[in-house]
Amino acid sequence: MYDVIILGSGPAGWTAAIYCGRANKKTLVLTGPSLGGQTGEIAKLENYPGWNGSGMELILFMKNQAESFGAKTESASAQNINFNPDGTYTVVCDNGKTFDSRTVILATGASARRLDIDGARELFGHGVSYCATCDGFFYSGRDVLVIGGGNTALNDALYLADVAKNVKIIYRKSEFFRAEAVLRDRVAAKENIECIYNTELKSVEQKPDSDKLIATTTGGDKIECDGIFVAIGHEANTDYLSEDIKRDEIGRIAPESLPSGMFVAGDVESNIKMQVATAVGTGCSAAMDAIQYLNSKE
């Protein structure tokens, strides 16, 4: 029996693990499908105070710190969570294992929203990607598109500009309203990045007898490229939870809807900014609430 099981291995999860470990609570972190989640995919993390490395470097630093205070890890994802008659929880994992705990902290984060156009699903992994740092090296010296206009899209474009020959950013609005000014300036300074505004894609298909793609816009224009990288927002990872837990329009959890002994932190929590600094703060808060709850039961 664990005191705390933490679902997720992003900044929120590891922060919670550090606090719970320091409070001498028996803690288990289920790392999920990829260590670090979205943060682990950031090539250069510049907006978290005191850090100037990659996202994965930060995650590994946090992981080592949590483990130094006794936190255990398991490479697994929760499939469902059962509330037991004695007030404890049983977490059923995708690797066939089950773990019991007195409390659970949900820190499963969010995943990239899929591009809902003809051909996108069929070409996923064959030219259509949702992770520039994962797949960018396949497109060295080639032509790529980036779909989106927020910080993630511009960061992806800047990363790809150092790998690919040419990068075109396709954005449905007239300018990058949501992206930080420093990123807009960097994009504007890159000679091999072209911004195409007021444009949306209608479909994508494989060019006949070629490994290239043809992206067709809603206006009927056709853009030939080698790869498409999608950055159009995120949806919370909450499929393992029952439907009676309240969620917002992108699936994020309302803390007040959670049963006793269950807490939430990071990008999966509703009404917070989806940033590393915010994730750390909510991870701290969730851990302290869980510790207080456990201490009240002793």
Would you name the residues annotated as active-site residues? Answer: 131, 134-135
Residue 248 has a pLDDT of: 86
The answer to whether the CB of 14 falls within 8 A of the CB of 30 is no
Residue 229 has a pLDDT of: 97
Q: Where in the chain is the domain with CATH 3.50.50.60?
A: 2-111+234-297, 114-230
Cα 277 to the center of its chain, rounded Å = 14
Domain range 114-230, its CATH number among 1.10.150.300, 3.50.50.60, 3.40.50.1980, 3.40.50.300: 3.50.50.60
For 89-100, b/e burial (b = at least 16 CB within 10 A) is bebebeeeeebe
Residue 82 has a pLDDT of: 95
Listed as ranges, residues in the chain with pLDDT below 70 are: none
Residue 137 has a pLDDT of: 92
Rounded CA-CA distance 282/19 in Å is 12
Rounded CA-CA distance 23/244 in Å is 31
- Encoding tokens for residue 105? 């902290």
Rounded CA-CA distance 185/227 in Å is 24
The CATH architecture one would assign to domain 2-111+234-297 is 3-Layer(bba) Sandwich (3.50)
Name which of 4, 5, 14 is nearest 276 in CA terms. 14
Beta bridge partners of 155: none
Residue 170 has a pLDDT of: 98
- Residue 172 neighbours by CB under 8 Å, 6+ apart: 149, 198, 199, 200
User: Alpha carbon of 187 to those of 45, 46, 180, 194: distances in Å?
Assistant: 17, 16, 11, 9
Q: Which long-range contacts (CB under 8 A, 24 or more apart) does 154-158 make?
A: 154/179, 154/183, 154/184, 154/186, 154/187, 155/42, 155/43, 155/183, 156/132, 156/229, 156/231, 157/187, 157/190, 157/193, 158/183, 158/186, 158/187, 158/190, 158/193
Residue 205 has a pLDDT of: 97
The answer to whether the CB of 47 falls within 8 A of the CB of 95 is no
